[in-house]
């Protein structure tokens, strides 16, 4: 079957690399907004439970040309949906249309719903209220693609983090940045890794590192309503790095207690309720130290000084207090246009722009060389 792993535009290569690690034999193709994957149904559905970077996983059902509603109706009604889903489901239709004759979204949705209800009546299936599966209907230049959503709620909801702070980072973004550093910018020298977040919020970076290879089980997936949902979860790939300890600083008391709840029971965690700029330097470590930080952008969390000044201070403080091997900062693009004063030995090795909740951001990765 043809699956499509939806990625945040700008992170497609990271989603592709993650799929390649878990499913090395599957044919993959990264395109704008996601990755095409060809897989047997059980393995395709398992992507929901092991991958940490995609937003959702769709399965392609049909692709056809049409410029009229009757063809759309007939094509949908003719599909044997029992191949995919339990026909007692209700469909939640999501429409997008570009450069196509059919452009009125509400009418496209109505036509899909009519066809679905008539199909269901014809095979004498009864609807069960609340049992929902998403149908993604996409028109581009009069080619209609029908895809079923196998995920349900977006995949950044892992089912484990229940406490959030003021401006939480999506888990899928945190995971993508950790994987990017791990794959491209860190040097495997046999040492374990200590991950430090100087502005930890509710602990997303720490959680994503700690549960990197965990199979997600504590939530529902749309594929629970799929017909042949014999999900085949693969074994975790071997990794060049081990996350051994986790350190977080957080100025706000309430937010820190959210992080404490989220990370409860995990070994090797130190959380400090402190202003990072006023904190004592971390003791030297035998481990590699990787810093990840998503500081305030001056939007949801107000900042008194110019943002660029805050970030320059932050880099200097991270160098002084953490002495990291690698550091990754997610910063609002508008605040980092010009040149930055960097601590000695810091070199930019990646700048990756994308949208974080609609805000243009750039992920900067620094490698640090010491004499």
- Closest to ligand SAM by CB, 117 or 301: 301
Measured in whole angstroms, how far is the alpha carbon of residue 22 from the centre of its chain?
16
| Shortest distance, position 166 Cβ to ligand SAM, whole Å | 6
Site string for ligand SAM, 242-261 (x = CB under 6 A): -------xxxx--x------
Burial (CB < 10 A; 0-12, 13-18, 19+), residue 283, is exposed
What is d(CA 330, CA 344) in angstroms, rounded to the nearest whole number?
20
Rule CB under 6 A: which of 35-64 touch ligand SAM? none
Reading the block at residue 102, the tokens are 């059919």
Between 16 and 202, whose beta carbon lies closer to ligand SAM? 202
CB 150 within 8 Å of CB 59: yes
> Residue 288 forms beta bridges with which residues?
193
What number of residues does the chain have? 371
Question: Smallest distance, Å, CB 318 to ligand SAM?
Answer: 11
Instruction: Tell me the closest approach of the beta carbon of residue 213 to ligand SAM, in angstroms.
Output: 20
Which residue lies nearer to ligand SAM by CB, 278 or 370?
A: 278
In this chain, which stretch among 110-118, 160-168, 218-226, 340-348 interacts with ligand SAM, using CB under 6 A? 160-168
Phi, psi angle pair for 367, to nearest 5°: -100, 145
Does 275 sit near ligand SAM (CB under 6 A)? yes
Residue 278, Cβ density class (10 Å: 0-12 exposed, 13-18 middle, ≥19 buried): exposed
Residue span 291-330 as binding mask against ligand SAM, x where in contact by CB under 6 A, dash where not: ---xxx----x-----------------------------
Give CA–CA dist 297/281, Å, rounded.
Answer: 25
Number of residues that bind ligand SAM (CB under 6 A): 21
Shortest Cβ distance from residue 183 to ligand SAM (Å)?
Answer: 21
Q: Which is nearer to ligand SAM, 300 or 341 (CB)?
A: 300
- Residue-by-residue DSSP string for 196-230: EETT-TTTHHHHHHHTTTPPP-SS--GGGGBTT--
SS3 annotation, 263-314: CCCCCCEEEEECCHHHCCCCCCCCCEEEEEECCCCCCCCCCCCCHHHHHHHH
Show Cβ contacts of residue 333 under 8 Å, excluding neighbours closer than 6 positions.
353, 360, 361, 362
Q: Which of 168, 221, 319, 321 binds ligand SAM (CB under 6 A)?
A: 168
10 vs 168, which CB is nearer to ligand SAM?
A: 168
**Distance between alpha carbon 239 and the CA centroid of its chain, in Å?**
20
Tokens of 331: 């910063």
Q: How far apart are CA 223 and CA 85, in angstroms?
A: 8
The least distance separating ligand SAM from the CB of residue 1, rounded to whole angstroms, comes to 34
Q: By C-beta, is 10 or 165 nearer to ligand SAM?
A: 165
CB 163 → ligand SAM: shortest distance, Å?
9
Interface of this chain with ligand SAM, residues 21 to 40, rule: CB under 6 A: none
Binder of ligand SAM out of 276, 311, 346, 366 (CB under 6 A): 276
**Run of H or E including 260:** helix 253-262
**Closest residue to bound ligand SAM by CB:** 201
Which positions from 184 to 223 touch ligand SAM by CB under 6 A, shown as an x/- string?
---------------x-xx-x-------------------
Considering the complex, state which of residue 26 and residue 308 has its C-beta at the smaller distance from ligand SAM.
308
**Min. distance of Cβ 267 from ligand SAM in angstroms?**
21
Q: How far is CA 360 from the centre of its chain?
A: 16
The footprint of ligand SAM (CB under 6 A) covers: 165-169, 199, 201-202, 204, 249-252, 255, 275-277, 294-296, 301
């Amino acid at each position: 079957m043809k699956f499509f792993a939806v990625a945040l535009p700008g992170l497609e290569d990271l989603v592709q690399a993650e799929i390649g690690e878990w499913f090395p034999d599957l044919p993959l193709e990264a395109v704008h907004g996601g990755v095409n994957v060809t897989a047997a149904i059980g393995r395709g559905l398992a992507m929901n439970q092991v991958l940490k970077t995609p937003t959702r996983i769709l399965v392609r059902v049909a692709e056809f040309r049409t410029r009229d509603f009757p063809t759309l109706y007939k094509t949908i009604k003719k599909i044997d949906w029992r191949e995919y889903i339990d026909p007692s489901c209700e469909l939640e239709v999501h429409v997008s249309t570009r450069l196509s004759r059919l452009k009125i979204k509400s009418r496209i949705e109505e036509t899909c719903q009519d066809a679905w209800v008539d199909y269901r009546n014809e095979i004498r299936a009864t609807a069960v209220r609340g049992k929902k599966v998403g149908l993604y209907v996409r028109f581009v230049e009069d080619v209609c693609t029908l895809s079923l959503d196998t995920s349900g709620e977006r995949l950044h909801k892992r089912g484990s983090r229940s406490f959030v702070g003021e401006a939480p980072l999506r888990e899928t973004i945190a995971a993508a940045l950790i994987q990017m550093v791990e794959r491209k910018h860190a040097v495997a020298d046999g040492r374990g890794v200590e991950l430090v977040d100087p502005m930890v919020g509710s602990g997303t970076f720490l959680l994503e590192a700690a549960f990197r290879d965990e199979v997600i089980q504590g939530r529902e997936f749309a594929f629970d309503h799929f017909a042949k949902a014999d999900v085949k979860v693969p074994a975790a790939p071997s990794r060049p790095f081990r996350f051994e300890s986790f350190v977080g600083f957080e100025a706000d008391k309430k937010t820190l207690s959210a992080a404490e709840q989220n990370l409860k029971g995990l070994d090797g965690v130190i959380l400090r309720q402190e202003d990072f700029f006023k904190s004592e330097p971390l003791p030297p470590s035998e481990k590699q130290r990787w810093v990840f930080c998503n500081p305030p952008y001056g939007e949801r969390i107000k900042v008194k000084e110019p943002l660029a000044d805050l970030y320059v201070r932050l880099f200097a403080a991270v160098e002084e207090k953490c002495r990291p091997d690698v550091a990754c900062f997610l910063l609002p693009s508008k605040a980092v246009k010009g040149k930055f004063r960097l601590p000695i030995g810091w070199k930019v090795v990646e700048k990756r722009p994308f949208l974080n909740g609609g805000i243009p951001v750039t992920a900067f990765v620094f490698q640090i060389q010491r004499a």
